[in-house]
Structure 1
Amino acid sequence: MENPILTSLPVELIINIISLLDWRTILVCREVCRLFHSIVEEDRAQYEIELAVSGMVDGPPSTFSTSDRLALLKERKAAWESLRWVESQDFSMMQGHIWELYGNVFAQSSTPDVLHFRQLPSKYRKIEEKEWSVTLDMHVRDFTMDPAQDLLVLIEEPTLLPNTNTTTCSIRIHLRSLTTGDRHRLAPQPAILIHELDARNVRATYTLRVCDNLLGIFFDYEREDADPELTVWDWTTGKVIFTWCFDSEIVTFAFLNSRFLLVGSAFGSGDIDIQAQLYVFDMTKPSSKKFGRRTDYFCVFLWPEFDFWANPVDLSIRSDPSPTWQPNSKAQLPFSTAPGNRLFIITVSLMTNHRIIPYDTFVPADTLLSHIEALSTEVRCREIEWDEWGPTGTRLMRSSSLHDSVWVCYVFGTKFVSLTEPTLTSPQTLEIRDFNQLAIKRDAKVQDGISHHVHDTTVVRKVFANEIHTSLPYRVIKRTLPPHSSLEPIFTAAMCSEDNLILVDVSMPHAYRTERFSNVARRFAV
């Protein structure tokens, strides 16, 4: 029976009240009465529901009406679920050998001191393509960026001095504006962070991550007398939050949120009972001291032990965007990816039977955060066994796609993009695995039938000490690529951003080829 008090309210007032509710409550309201059901079917309520199911959040007030936003959101969703490309574009690959893809901006260098940026377009979020270049006063060894904060982080190529008696090496990290190359307005003065290495004349590789005001860099050195280090700064003040040193370990990291840092670790050859771990460190208790791995972590997620004959040779964690990332409000985009709508892909490469085989573990951020939030803040160094979090909260499987350690931007939000190798009888296939659990629960269908859901259990044998069973559901969207020819290359890697897909071809050096999928996704072929 309809509630006379509620239904006697003006319809406009009821609409305003419902628009303030979360999507779950809106769905409950739909079952209250026929009036509420009709209101929920209106655009304002439907838009809230579609945002939630799509893993998106509403943008700032702009000229877009609610009806406009709902229509654009539905069109964007349909385009991703069909993967139709409608145009192509070729442009040259530059010679600088460093690049980055983040927040719908693709950047590459032409020389060690010049960076070129390309903002990738989106029809459904009304983003126009834009290009610009920045000339720098240094040679850049590596870099990362955050377009939402107009932040460009540059690692200066260190100068090696073979005849000096110094025992340390200084790594200079510059904080610049992405649009101008000048000092970032929020950076300290001078806008340079200095990392002192307790060894001289060593070359390093760098892994850089930004999360709001936090900058994390993992320094991995080629020489054995220099231990790898992971340092986190508050880049707006220049202060070190944490520094960890690692000895004879394979290490990788990612920001879980603005409080917790996720550090993956695995022992190398020669260790007994080899096991990968995901350490969680609390960054609200900063310290400039250098810590070892076992010093003071908040908790650790344990993987099952590897088989005696399986030796880890590489470990990586990928997740984009950062947990606090949002587009610049000045862009006035109608909607964007929700901060919590994130997937971690943890890849371990194992040496077994004289072969290196990669295995991917797909872990939604909620799987880890739900266990962390359940712990008391007074509890330290808590071990969370694999059986507590892994079997139903993850999906672990042998990688069936082409893995290239160079082109690593294969995840955005809950989407993972990959390519299969072509054979004599079957062409190459582009595949998206989407771990958006709300979309799966609603069991969204597409008319052309290229999407299906996976609910069965994946079993991994002869890699770990025991059989591993995982069952986190996911949705698969596949698209067959044109057969290889003089006009159609064989792609070697796939990358993903918020609105675009990028396919990489290394058979044609120094050239990018771009195609747009349903005005949503683009591909770059090198």
Structure 2
Amino acid sequence: MVNPQSRSSGASPIERKLHAVKLDLPVPEMTSQSRLLHLPLEICAEVLALLDSRDILSCSETCKLLRTLVSSLTTLQYILALSAHGMRDGLRALPLTASERLNLLRTRRASWRTLTLGAPSTSIHLPGACQAYDLVGGYFGKCSGARETEVSIDTDDRRTITLVTLPSFEPPQETKVETYDLGVQTKDFASDPSQDLIALLEMPGVDGSIKLHLRRLSEPGTTHPEAGVGVLTGSAENFIAECMLDVADDVLVLYVREPEPRIIIFNWRTGEQLVNMEPPSHPVMPDDFSFISPRSFLVTYAHTDAIRLFTFTSPSSSQTLEATATLRIPPPAPGARLSVLNAITGPWLARAPSGSAHFPLNERRIHMFNLTIAGADGLWHELLIVVRAQTLSSILQHGISPPDYFLAPQLFSTSSTAFGLADEEKTLWEWTEWLPSYARVIALSQQFHWQRYVHGSRMLAHGIAGLHMLDFDVPIKDGERKKWKDTGLFGKGSIAVWEEGEKGVPVSGVLNVGGDVGGGEDDGDGTHWAQGLVIDEVDAPYHSLNSNSPISPFDKVLEQEPELVSALPYGCVCIPVPVPPDDGRGGTYTGFMLDEQRVVGVRSVEDGEVLDVWTL
């Protein structure tokens, strides 16, 4: 038998440390519980690497050897870091070791938390009036042309698409701009670079007839090889004025907004039409649509019964659906009126996009609902309601699970009975059942003209103080949370994490949430501190109902009024809005977008747009 000390004499420092620990331990009896410890360390590490992050952590708490093994091996630390950051491992074909992937993950995370936008990495001029666009997985696409009328448009217009491969810092990737002739007039498109897919909505007929062309993103003139049919056909039964396309894995949706809302969903791989229906109205028309998963979606309404959740199957049992669940929001205060409730979320990626060492977990995406309220005070108010996709999925499964302990351990102090499964027949969720514990309400005006300002767990917002980056995936295992603490309230350059017991903002005249639910203590300057999390005054300009002039937010009349408690933790970095580079094109920023590796500022210039790209 080989002497353990001699066997480890040529080993790495980590191996020598592990063997030293193993020598200090008594040899356990061979039982089913101890067999793992009798395996060679290399095999033991491979076994642990097959576990998920929670099981790895559980194993590390059982004995000194496994704790040292987990804390010493980069592969296991990378698995834990992915889970803590809400990420999934990317392409194994990338020439990066586990150590390099871990360092990249940590470096990029730190870059987001210390976000600064100096001179852009590159600026890309895209001429022509933009009529359709998308930013997904490192690609930006744009269709240009004149706006159509109800009758027709120029037959030579909107037949090309410009695809931009955006630059990346690591792994290095250069900018590439290519223009393709699509062969059809295109009203809208959606893409998923991870599936090499682009879906084109051909200009619909005046009778609402539709054609969806399924092409390869890398060769937009070529039919996608996995498509059941090259062109999907259907009918919206009416002229389509305003609509959107979106893709989630194997399903593709056409959501018609105007003049008559309609949802049409296809399985693009089989060619089957799964859903074709008018969303239910009650008593207001629907505002927006968003996929929760490839088999569920939501529709929003400017109504107390605000968010309706639906599920469907493939193959389809019925193309007309009833809501599986309805989520209520607080009713408007006397004299106030709910005006619009829009829904924004990041793209659903079926797998890792090209050049990605890691990418966000789809279930950890956030859904952001932008609620506009005509207040009793004669002002427009905007509130953002943010909730995770996994919370919505849990509600669809007739219950809410406890919040992820990686993200919000303070919520586990709540009685466990609050997290019990709901009645299997439960379809109506009062706002008090889901919003306080599982969402976040923020008083922040969203002023972007371009979407894709939400990606994964992050979102960008443009306020008076500057550009805000909000991150709703705040891990606790990496020791970073304290670095986000700051006494400033989202002033320029300030950083903060909002947890239980933070400052609240009154909502009287906007939402009717009953009496004062804060119950906290006065901090000495007349400001009330709530027991739970509350509407946060990040940077909320109020506007007169008859004017676009900003008014100072939260005047003294509102200071002592009720507060709305919400508890989803997040971090926020506020930086000055970048100054457009002096490149001779001028223009002003009309929006900022983001993905995992970039911030993209969109400048409107005389002959089109300029994309200013900052890589992280």
Whether TM-score is above 0.5 comes out as yes
Distance 1:440 1:506 in 2: 42
Q: Does 1:177 align with 2:216?
A: yes
User: Helix, strand or coil: the match of 1:240?
Assistant: strand
Q: Does 1:93 align with 2:126?
A: yes
Q: 1:484 to 1:19 in 2, by over 3 A?
A: closer
Equivalent position of 2:542 in the other structure: none
Say which of 51, 72, 78 aligns to 1:21. Answer: 51
Q: Tell me the percent identity.
A: 24
- Which amino acid in the other structure matches residue 351 of structure 2? Q
- Which amino acid in the other structure matches residue 396 of structure 1? V
Q: Shift of the alpha carbon at 1:303?
A: 1.6
Q: Shift of the alpha carbon at 1:219?
A: 0.9
Q: Shift of the alpha carbon at 1:211?
A: 0.8
Q: Shift of the alpha carbon at 1:484?
A: 8.2
Distance 2:92 2:26 in 1: 34
User: Helix, strand or coil: the match of 2:105?
Assistant: helix
Q: Shift of the alpha carbon at 1:289?
A: 6.1
User: Helix, strand or coil: the match of 1:93?
Assistant: strand
Mapping of residues 359-398 of structure 1, within 5 Å: 359-375=383-399, 379=424, 382-398=427-443
Say which of 432, 452, 455 aligns to 1:409. Answer: 452
8 Å contact from structure 2 (residues 195, 351) kept in 1: no
8 Å contact from structure 2 (residues 129, 608) kept in 1: no
Q: Shift of the alpha carbon at 1:104?
A: 1.8
Q: Shift of the alpha carbon at 1:394?
A: 0.6
Say which of 71, 84, 90 aligns to 1:59. Answer: 90
1:375-406 Cα deviation digits (max 9, x unpaired): 59995571111111111111112224x423x3
1:131-159 Cα deviation digits (max 9, x unpaired): 32221111111111111111111122235
Q: Shift of the alpha carbon at 1:36?
A: 2.7
Q: 1:19 to 1:313 in 2, by over 3 A?
A: same
8 Å contact from structure 1 (residues 176, 184) kept in 2: yes
Q: Does 1:333 align with 2:356?
A: yes
Moved more, 477-486 or 46-55: 477-486
Distance 2:569 2:26 in 1: 40
Mapping of residues 131-210 of structure 1, within 5 Å: 131-160=177-206, 168-181=207-220, 182-189=222-229, 191-199=230-238, 202-210=239-247
Q: Does 1:318 align with 2:358?
A: no
Moved more, 274-283 or 114-123: 274-283
User: Helix, strand or coil: the match of 1:470?
Assistant: coil
Q: 1:3 to 1:354 in 2, by over 3 A?
A: farther
Mapping of residues 328-477 of structure 1, within 5 Å: 328=353, 331=354, 333-352=356-375, 353-375=377-399, 379=424, 382-400=427-445, 402-404=446-448, 406-421=449-464, 429-439=466-476, 442-446=479-483, 451-455=495-499, 456=502, 458-459=504-505, 460-466=507-513, 467=562, 468-477=564-573
Q: Shift of the alpha carbon at 1:239?
A: 1.8
Q: Does 1:217 align with 2:240?
A: no
Equivalent position of 1:524 in the other structure: none
Q: Shift of the alpha carbon at 1:258?
A: 2.2
Say which of 259, 284, 287 aligns to 2:313. Answer: 284
Q: 1:325 to 1:356 in 2, by over 3 A?
A: farther
Q: Shift of the alpha carbon at 1:10?
A: 2.4
8 Å contact from structure 2 (residues 444, 463) kept in 1: no
Q: 1:177 to 1:261 in 2, by over 3 A?
A: same
User: Helix, strand or coil: the match of 1:16?
Assistant: helix
Equivalent position of 1:165 in the other structure: none
- Which amino acid in the other structure matches residue 251 of structure 2? L
Q: 1:464 to 1:84 in 2, by over 3 A?
A: closer
User: Helix, strand or coil: the match of 1:18?
Assistant: helix
Distance 2:356 2:571 in 1: 27
Mapping of residues 74-153 of structure 1, within 5 Å: 74-85=106-117, 87-88=119-120, 89-97=122-130, 98-111=132-145, 112-153=158-199
The structure richer in strand per residue is 1
User: Helix, strand or coil: the match of 1:36?
Assistant: helix
- Which amino acid in the other structure matches residue 141 of structure 2? A
8 Å contact from structure 2 (residues 253, 266) kept in 1: yes
Q: CA RMSD in A?
A: 3.1
Distance 2:187 2:275 in 1: 23
Distance 2:328 2:350 in 1: 28
Equivalent position of 2:591 in the other structure: 493
Equivalent position of 1:269 in the other structure: none
Name the larger-Rg structure: 2
Q: Does 1:480 align with 2:480?
A: no
Distance 1:308 1:193 in 2: 48
Equivalent position of 1:261 in the other structure: 297
Q: Shift of the alpha carbon at 1:442?
A: 4.9
8 Å contact from structure 1 (residues 319, 412) kept in 2: yes
Distance 1:244 1:344 in 2: 23
- Which amino acid in the other structure matches residue 204 of structure 1? A
- Which amino acid in the other structure matches residue 331 of structure 2? E
- Which amino acid in the other structure matches residue 345 of structure 2? S
- Which amino acid in the other structure matches residue 467 of structure 2? L
Q: Shift of the alpha carbon at 1:243?
A: 2.2
1:282-323 Cα deviation digits (max 9, x unpaired): 2127658664xxx6222222222223433333221111122x
Distance 2:144 2:580 in 1: 30
User: Helix, strand or coil: the match of 2:184?
Assistant: coil
8 Å contact from structure 1 (residues 390, 470) kept in 2: yes
TM-score after normalising by structure 1: 0.83
8 Å contact from structure 1 (residues 457, 470) kept in 2: no
- Which amino acid in the other structure matches residue 502 of structure 1? V
TM-score after normalising by structure 2: 0.71
Q: Does 1:71 align with 2:103?
A: yes
- Which amino acid in the other structure matches residue 187 of structure 1? A
- Which amino acid in the other structure matches residue 35 of structure 1? L
Equivalent position of 1:305 in the other structure: 331
User: Helix, strand or coil: the match of 1:472?
Assistant: coil
Q: How many residues align?
A: 483
Q: 1:481 to 1:298 in 2, by over 3 A?
A: closer
Distance 1:479 1:2 in 2: 52
Equivalent position of 2:608 in the other structure: 510
Distance 1:78 1:214 in 2: 35
Q: Shift of the alpha carbon at 1:370?
A: 2.6
Q: 1:80 to 1:235 in 2, by over 3 A?
A: same
- Which amino acid in the other structure matches residue 327 of structure 1? A
Q: Does 1:249 align with 2:285?
A: yes
Q: 1:481 to 1:58 in 2, by over 3 A?
A: same
8 Å contact from structure 2 (residues 366, 458) kept in 1: yes
